[in-house]
Chain A
Amino acid sequence: MVMKNPDVEFCGYSITHPSESKINFRIQTRGGLPAVEPFRKGLNDLTEVCQYVLDTFEARVKEFSDREAAMD
């Protein structure tokens, strides 16, 4: 998500030690922009995507079960 932002020059993560659940997440922007911005935008975009996927999925499930009920 963050990689899809054209202002981001570098984005990556690494796991410091497999036993502790900690992730080092690095975002580097192309000059000017504070790095928190693409992070925030990425999270917001991901939330939007999830919401849309959820709505589409539930609509299709309802459609499928209505179709099944109609056929029986």
Chain B
Amino acid sequence: MAAPMRNVDEIRNRVILGEFGVKNVHSTDFPGNYPEYDDTWNQKKFQKNFRIDIIQMDENSMEFDMVGIDAAIANAFRRILLAEVPTMAVEKVFIYNNTSIIQDEILAHRLGLIPIKADPRLFEYRNADDEEGTEIDTIQLQLKVKCTRNPRASKDSSDPSELYINHMVYSRDMKWVPIGNQADVFGEAGIAPVHGDILLAQLRPGQELDIVMHCVKGIGKDHAKFSPVATASYRLLPEITLLQPVKGEMAERLKRCFSPGVIELESIEGTPVAKVVNSRLDTCSREVLRHDDLKNLVKLGRVRDHFIFSVESTGILAPDILVSEAIKVLMAKCRKFLNELDSVEME
């Protein structure tokens, strides 16, 4: 009885990486599918099995584990992080003077993609028909640069940074123009691009840029410039099981088939024996399945409900705040649906 049960558990909990394909990809634990299991949704059972472990976190990126949650919900968090967490970005570019070699639309496109360090939770969305923009939904930035010849340069130098003044336009040249009460709200720190060293354009003497920009709040679904993450991804925890003890020269080769640090050799009675030390580091390249004598000794799989998330922020908001915001967006959507349901039932 133990062997078939283990088989069923395997189908329920593991994604199997075979030689020619990946098996058991879809989750099948729904009520009625397995006679011995009660798969009805139970919040207490979920809370008992669920845990989050933070592996690494710094100001721009974090890596954390979510264990015990269904793939659909984990994927929903990932998709919301990419496309539905709002940020502020340059939307309207008023070009009063552009005599540089960069075309207007190319320059406007580049300005839109610059991340602006402004907390989007303090702003509102702009109404569709509002042309001017008020202090609660718009940030105004100005870029005014003129390139001139440097009178103090030596006669025969050919280095542009010596010959010209202001010939490189960086994102730090974008200056914030406070509207209304923004000066009191944001005061000291002000609003500026996250990175000041993004090169926008190169100028030569006589060329100038005179641009006013309006930033609005938007989501990544509308335009990728509003996406708050450099990327957000997850992978499932790999699992490597050795079906038989592997010794000697085969152990050496087995070790080389996996990423470094996954398999270590320990010496038992003189011969090196392979042992799985840290399967988390593996990238699941299935290299071991290419060798005929090694492929029947291991079983490769992934744990279906253990997600290793990796979130890298563009710098506007800290990555842990981004994840919290993503979860709140999902809750808001559920609530909106419930309200809709209730209002329809009233009629």
- Interface residues in chain A, defined as those with a beta carbon under 8 Å from any beta carbon in chain B: 1, 3-6, 36, 39-40, 43-54, 56-58, 60-61, 63-65, 68
Contact = CB atoms under 8 A, between A and B. Distances in A.
Contacts, number: 80
B334 A46 contact: yes
A6 B338 contact: no
A51 B21 CA distance: 37
A50 B334 contact: yes
A61 B338 contact: no
Given A44-B334, A57-B52, 4 more contacts: A40-B338, A49-B73, A50-B331, A61-B57
A33 B91 CA distance: 49
A50 B326 CA distance: 10
A39 B341 CA distance: 9
A68 B341 CA distance: 45
Interface in B317-347: 320, 323-324, 327-328, 330-331, 334-335, 337-338, 341, 345
A44 B324 CA distance: 19
A44 B338 contact: yes
A52 B47 contact: yes
B327 A1 contact: no
Contacts of A54: 324, 327-328, 331
Interface in B45-77: 46-47, 50-54, 57, 64, 66, 69, 73
B31 A43 contact: no
B31 A5 contact: yes
A45 B334 CA distance: 10
A51 B30 contact: no
Given A3-B30, A52-B50, A43 B327 contact: no
Contacts of A36: 341, 345
Given A4-B41, A50-B327, A61 B320 contact: yes
B244 interface: no
Contact of A57 (B41, B327, B335, B338): B327
Contact of B43 (A45, A57, A65): A45
Contacts of B323: 57
A1 B57 CA distance: 31
A44 B47 CA distance: 15
Interface in B110-130: none
B53 to A, nearest CB: 7
A58 B41 contact: no
A38 B321 CA distance: 32
A54 to B, nearest CB: 4
B39 interface: yes
Contacts of B328: 50, 54
Given A4-B30, A45-B43, A64-B57, A53 B50 contact: yes
Nearest to A45: B41
A43 B334 contact: yes
Nearest to B46: A49
Contacts of A1: 41
Contact of B32 (A6, A47, A61, A63): A6
Nearest to A5: B41
B103 interface: no
A60 B46 contact: no
A60 B52 CA distance: 7
B40 A5 contact: yes
A53 B73 CA distance: 11
B335 to A, nearest CB: 7
A48 B50 CA distance: 13
A65 to B, nearest CB: 7
> Sorted from nearest, which 5 A-B pairs have the closest CB atoms?
A4-B41, A6-B31, A64-B54, A54-B327, A50-B331
22 contacts: A3-B30, A4-B40, A6-B31, A6-B40, A36-B345, A44-B338, A46-B330, A46-B334, A48-B43, A50-B330, A50-B331, A51-B331, A53-B66, A54-B324, A54-B327, A54-B328, A57-B64, A58-B324, A60-B53, A61-B54, A64-B57, A65-B57
